[in-house]
Amino acid sequence: MKSTVAKIYLDNFRENLYFIRSKMNKNTKMCVAIKADAYGHGAIECAKVAEECGVEYLAIARVSEGVQLRRAGIGADLLLLSLCDPSEMDELVQNRITPLVFDSEYVDLVANAAKKAGVQNYAVHLAVDTGMGRIGCYPEDAGKLAKKIVSDGLFFGGICTHFSVSDSKNEDDVLYTKNQFARFLSAIENVRRAGIEPGIRHCAASAPTLFCPEMHLDMCRPGIVCYGYYPGDFTGDDLKPVMSLITKVSAIRRIKAGESISYGRTWTAKKDTNVAVLPVGYADGLLRRHAGIFVSIDGKSYPICGRICMDQCMVDIGDDKIERWNEAVIFGPKESGAILSAKEIADGAGTIPYEITCAVSKRVARVFV
């Protein structure tokens, strides 16, 4: 519905990138996570701003995301963080997407695709599992895999790992991250001992990028911080949220005391009141578990009453002079008029702001300002 839009503040995105860059070591490259449609913010538009800001790499999770960016004229290096299907290997090479590899079979798949396309020294990055338990070779096998990459005619462009609890300030988690970093450094040394230069060394996602300069190495991979939110236990005042979810009052109903609202009759009016109907629901990204949050109408907060429906929700506005078609802001930066940020909604739902912005569905038009 045109009444419901996600407004994307590209200037906030730009300012966040400049702030992040100011926290990075001078010669360290930046790889901005643009995967999942830039965490719901619009991959193409955010990629263009990132390129304007001098970002060297963009991180994606699907080959199709890379194809979309290339067709839009994005020329930055693309780093594929997830594994692709063998049927996608040709598109991977054709669109100059740098994959992560970590075992012999996958190295062969990439090498064969590069040979088929007539591309020599196709760059790959070796992924190392230092404790995430997802993808990556073990540190002690890094040298062997590095030799395999080179012998297959590929270019050893870099080596990376991913931390599992680097956004936590818990003492045990901090130690775990330090141990992961030490294991990663050992993997790098194993590659060097194999007679191969490790290329671009990278391990720092959002939290280490801002708070652990010793982990910056050759490249940082900031994610959620680019979109205005601090990760995990970390806080600050320098980042600006980039997305606001905005809708309009589509109807106003007079509800008498004792009458109930929405599915399951979970909310009953304690007194006569007015209820505003908003054309936004869980199919748009305002999930059922967010029932009970407050939305902003004319700068004042009002509670959602009853269960959130697929396409609509209801808000108790009391006897306030709210008019039909007035704007209602679900979440966003302060300049959007929002009462809540995606972080505050996430905290209330026991999740993270990444999920809140990614959940805003494709049927919600993105408006870039």
For 282-328, the DSSP string reads TTTT--GGGTT-EEEETTEEEEB-S---SS-EEEEEET----TT-EE
Instruction: Indicate the residue type of 42.
Output: G
- Helix (H) / strand (E) containing 188: helix 171-193
Contacts 24+ apart (CB under 8 A), 342-347: 342/229, 342/241, 342/243, 343/229, 343/230, 343/241, 345/290, 345/293
> Measured between alpha carbons, how far is residue 76 from residues 48, 198, 239 in Å?
9, 21, 24
Query: Which residues are catalytically annotated?
Result: 35, 263
**Exposed/middle/buried for 88, CB within 10 Å: 0-12, 13-18, 19+?**
buried
- DSSP 8-state code for residue 28: -
Question: How far is 105 from 110, CA to CA, in rounded Å?
Answer: 9
Gyration radius of the chain's alpha carbons = 24
